[in-house]
């Protein structure tokens, strides 16, 4: 009994903490931009609406739900709930629904409840879901307003506010209207592990209205994935993934001995070093094949055997040692070099093996394609 008390207390704390809002990740300049825009937008709407209505008339010229609409238009201009059609259609259609319910349902409580529910359903169908529309429907039904209220002030105010939102947001660097940018079918985001079809499947599974546009959500996920890649892979250095104590040969190593070592260890390249462990070249399978005249396919095996077989002569044109066939220009990398910088060397430049050297230019390891792929795989793992 006592052992479950801490668990119950923890669940209670978690439940209570659920009521505490998370911090808003918005900079101070963006907050000032939003609140200034809301003030300017409401003032613009109010002045023009009052002028349109004419002085001295008792007809209301500014509807209260416009304040909530201003929050969405200027503080959340990327939200699907804040787009011009959502503002104009959501508010106006909800006012029409509220007026109809006030006329058909005598009880204001029932009229208000039915108006809000019907307005939400209509906004879903016409793709103009707008939270202040629920307030508009309730206000219209409870006040028993006429259909005229839906035209003025609701339609006029909504049009003016949306127009102010287009001007202000555009001038302050925000895309508004924030139209959906549909990706090409089967398009795959660059350097991403998910496709647009995967995102669509996830949204269908989530099955809830998200207060973020689809393209913004996709961009957000790509940025998060890029940040995770940079954290997991971008900080890796060559010494973190290299194969240490690589097999090596020297300038005078016989060809037969080098070839046997490559076959035995199943490697395709051997760094050639001097007595100070410094790189003087690299010998690869391609070097052997080139000197065995690989372009002539007939008899290649015999020519290769002849190449690696010692001639036992003191003079001659036939290569006898590694130094005579090795590639002298070798691409090397420092052990402290970021691994990410080597990716183009493997993917674009066609390298298969890159020797790694220390500060004294001595060989300390080798990075192969397998080493790089292994590192990429680990970096791609969730939480890697």
Domain boundaries, the chain: 25-171, 196-227, 239-380
Q: Which residue has the higher pLDDT, 54 or 158?
A: 158
Q: What distance in Å separates the CA atoms of residue 218 and residue 174, rounded to the nearest whole number?
A: 18
Handedness of CA 65, 70, 72, 73 (dihedral sign): positive
- Position with higher pLDDT, 195 vs 109: 109
Average pLDDT rounded to a whole number, residues 229-233: 69
Q: Which range among 43-47, 233-237, 256-260, 366-370 shows the weakest confidence by mean pLDDT?
A: 233-237
**pLDDT at position 46:** 94
Residue 1 has pLDDT above 60, yes or no: no
Most confident of 48-57, 230-239, 346-355: 346-355
Nearest to 209 by CA among 276, 123, 141, 267: 123
pLDDT at 3: 55
In the prediction, which pLDDT does 2 show?
53
pLDDT surpasses 60 at 189: no
Of residues 11 and 103, the one with the higher pLDDT is 103
Percent of the residues in the chain that have a pLDDT greater than 90, as a whole number:
52
- Which runs of consecutive H residues, i.e. helices, occur in 144-284? 147-149, 156-171, 196-206, 214-229, 238-241, 255-265
Average pLDDT over residues 338-346: 84
* Per-residue pLDDT, 261: 94
Which is nearest to 352 in space by CA: 382, 327, 384? 327
The pLDDT assigned to 89 comes to: 97
Spell out where the chain has E strands.
243-244, 249-250, 269-273, 279-284, 333-334, 353-357, 363-368
pLDDT at 58: 66
181: helix, strand or coil: coil
Q: Which residues contact 119 (CB under 8 A, 6 or more apart)?
A: 93, 94, 97, 98, 133, 134, 136, 137
What's the pLDDT tens digit per position in 207-227?
776 667 777 777 777 777 777
* pLDDT at residue number 181: 60
**Could you please report the per-residue DSSP string of 337-383?**
SBGGGGHHHHHTS--SEEEEE-TTSBEEEEEEHHHHHHHHHHHHSTT
- Give the mean pLDDT of 124-136: 96
217 or 38: which carries more pLDDT confidence?
38
Q: Please tell me the least confidently modeled range out of 96-100, 293-297, 329-333.
A: 293-297
Is residue 379's pLDDT more than 80? Answer: no
> Mean pLDDT of all residues in the chain?
86
| Superfamily (CATH) of domain 239-380 | CBS-domain (3.10.580.10)
CA-CA distance, 81 to 90, in Å (whole number)? 9
pTM, 2 dp: 0.60
């Amino acid at each position: 009994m006592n052992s479950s008390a801490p668990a119950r207390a923890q669940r209670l704390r978690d439940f209570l903490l659920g009521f505490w809002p998370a911090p808003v990740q918005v900079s101070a300049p963006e907050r000032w931009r939003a609140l200034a825009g809301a003030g300017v937008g409401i003032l613009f709407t109010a002045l023009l609406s009052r002028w349109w209505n004419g002085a001295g008339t008792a007809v209301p010229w500014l509807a209260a739900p416009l304040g909530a609409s201003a929050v969405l238009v200027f503080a959340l201009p990327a939200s699907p709930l804040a787009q011009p059609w959502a503002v104009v259609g959501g508010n106006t259609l909800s006012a029409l629904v509220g007026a109809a319910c006030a006329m058909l349902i005598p009880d204001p409580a029932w009229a208000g409840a039915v108006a809000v529910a019907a307005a939400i359903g209509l906004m879903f169908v016409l793709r103009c879901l707008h939270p202040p529309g629920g307030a508009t429907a309730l206000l219209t039904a409870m006040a028993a307003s006429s259909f005229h209220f839906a035209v003025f002030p609701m339609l006029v105010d909504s049009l003016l506010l949306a127009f102010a939102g287009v001007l202000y947001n555009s001038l302050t660097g925000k895309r508004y209207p924030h139209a959906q940018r549909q990706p090409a079918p089967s398009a795959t985001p660059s350097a991403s592990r998910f496709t647009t079809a995967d995102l669509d499947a996830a949204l269908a599974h989530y099955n809830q209205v998200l207060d973020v546009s689809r393209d913004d959500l996709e961009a957000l996920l790509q940025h998060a994935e890029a940040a995770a890649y940079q954290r997991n892979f971008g900080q890796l250095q060559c010494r973190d993934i290299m194969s240490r104590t690589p097999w090596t040969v020297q300038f005078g190593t016989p060809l037969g001995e080098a070839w046997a070592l490559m076959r035995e260890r199943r490697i395709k390249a051997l760094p050639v070093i001097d007595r100070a462990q410094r790189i003087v070249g690299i010998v690869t399978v391609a070097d052997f094949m080139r000197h065995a005249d690989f372009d002539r396919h007939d008899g290649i095996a015999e020519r290769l055997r002849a190449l690696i077989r010692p001639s036992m002569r003191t003079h001659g044109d036939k290569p006898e040692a590694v130094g005579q066939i090795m590639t002298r220009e070798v691409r090397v990398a420092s052990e402290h070099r970021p691994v990410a910088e080597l990716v183009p060397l493997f993917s674009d430049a066609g390298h298969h093996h890159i020797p790694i050297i220390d500060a004294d230019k001595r060989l300390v390891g080798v990075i192969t394609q397998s080493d790089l792929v292994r590192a990429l795989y680990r970096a791609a793992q969730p939480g890697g």
